[in-house]
């Protein structure tokens, strides 16, 4: 089969992606058959489990249980402004990534070990799967785009933690003496990593580009020009309402999961047309 690309979008993005995947599976389209899984940020959490072959319906159901308590994480307004400036003032993705990296390295986000413990609790798989999985991140010092896979030195937990290290919210993750931030600092999906596959399904909670960050539509268009059949699933109005205003609010997980499951019905035919052609 083709490639499955899972994009970033916070806790609500994780739950929504599970809803979409489980809904498609109920319609007879099991995307665990993908030859390649690409995960960015929230998509790396989901992608690691999809590539490992975990049951989609069980992961969907899990979005309604063991909800985290306490105040949800959020980015301060000053950090939002700094992030926007870093991206809009840079024409090259690496330069934007380096500026976001400096912000992340200087932010007061708590100890890295505490964040690693949270990620460990959220990720029910520990080892890199046999199925090809690419997890994206950005070097906080240089802004260089980095892709982790099972052949490298990063553990799966480290790679996923790095891919989810939102600048200004969570601490950068140390791997091999270097520190890394969210793969979304380069692209919401990094769908270009699916180049060379005949069919590509992109599930993207966030689609827009900004400055040096290319939009999902732009990356999908590049894949199509190269000959791939591509379908992009992005939140419909009901899903966007379900997300609420803070994608990092665990209380929004259940409505986001339900919305994704419902939306899968409306996109199943388009997904099948691409996936079954591979």
Domains of the chain as residue ranges with CATH? 2-70+109-276 (3.40.1090)
| 182 tagged catalytic | yes
In the chain (278 residues long), the average pLDDT of successive 10-residue segments reads: 94 97 97 97 98 98 77 55 51 81 88 94 95 97 96 97 94 97 94 97 90 86 96 97 92 96 98 90
**What is residue 85's predicted lDDT score, i.e. its pLDDT?**
46
Quickly list H helices, the chain. 10-26, 42-51, 56-61, 77-88, 93-106, 112-122, 156-163, 216-225, 237-243, 253-275
DSSP string, 129-143: -SS-EEEEEEETTT-
Structure confidence at residue 92 (pLDDT): 77
What is the pLDDT at residue 81? 46
Active-site residue, selected from the candidate residues 79, 139, 182, 249: 182
Residue whose tokens read 């609010």:
249
Residues 6+ apart with CB under 8 A from 8: 40, 41, 42, 43, 182, 183, 184, 188, 189, 205, 206
> What SS3 state is found at 238?
helix
Q: Give residues with Cβ within 8 angstroms of 52, minimum separation 6.
A: 125, 129, 131
Predicted pLDDT of residue 93 = 79
Q: What is the phi-psi region of residue 20: left when phi exceeds 0, alpha when psi lies from -120 to 50, beta otherwise?
A: alpha
Whole-prediction pTM value?
0.93
């Amino acid at each position: 089969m083709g490639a499955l690309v899972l994009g970033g979008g916070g806790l609500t993005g994780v739950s929504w992606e599970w809803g979409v995947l489980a809904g498609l599976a109920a319609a007879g389209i099991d995307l665990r058959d993908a030859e390649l899984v690409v995960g960015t940020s929230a998509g790396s959490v989901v992608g690691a489990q999809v590539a490992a072959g975990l049951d989609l319906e069980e992961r969907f159901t899990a979005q309604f249980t063991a909800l985290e308590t306490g105040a949800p994480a959020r980015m301060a307004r000053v950090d939002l402004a700094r992030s926007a400036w870093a991206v809009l003032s840079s024409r090259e993705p690496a330069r934007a990534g380096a500026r976001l990296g400096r912000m992340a390295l200087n932010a007061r986000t708590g100890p890295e070990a505490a964040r690693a413990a949270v990620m460990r609790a959220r990720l029910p798989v520990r080892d890199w799967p046999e199925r090809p999985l690419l997890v994206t991140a950005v070097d906080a010092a240089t802004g260089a785009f980095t892709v982790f896979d099972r052949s490298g030195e990063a553990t799966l937990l480290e790679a996923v933690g790095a891919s989810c290290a939102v600048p200004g919210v969570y601490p950068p993750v140390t791997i091999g003496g270097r520190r890394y931030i969210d793969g979304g600092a380069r692209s919401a999906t990094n769908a270009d990593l699916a180049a060379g596959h005949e069919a590509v399904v992109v599930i993207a909670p966030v689609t827009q580009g900004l400055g040096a960050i290319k939009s999902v539509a732009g990356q999908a268009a590049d894949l199509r020009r190269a000959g791939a059949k591509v379908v992009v699933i992005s939140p419909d109005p009901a899903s966007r309402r379900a997300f609420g205003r803070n994608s990092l609010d665990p209380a929004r997980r259940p409505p986001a999961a339900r919305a994704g499951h419902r939306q899968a019905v409306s996109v199943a035919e388009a997904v099948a047309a691409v996936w079954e052609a591979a």
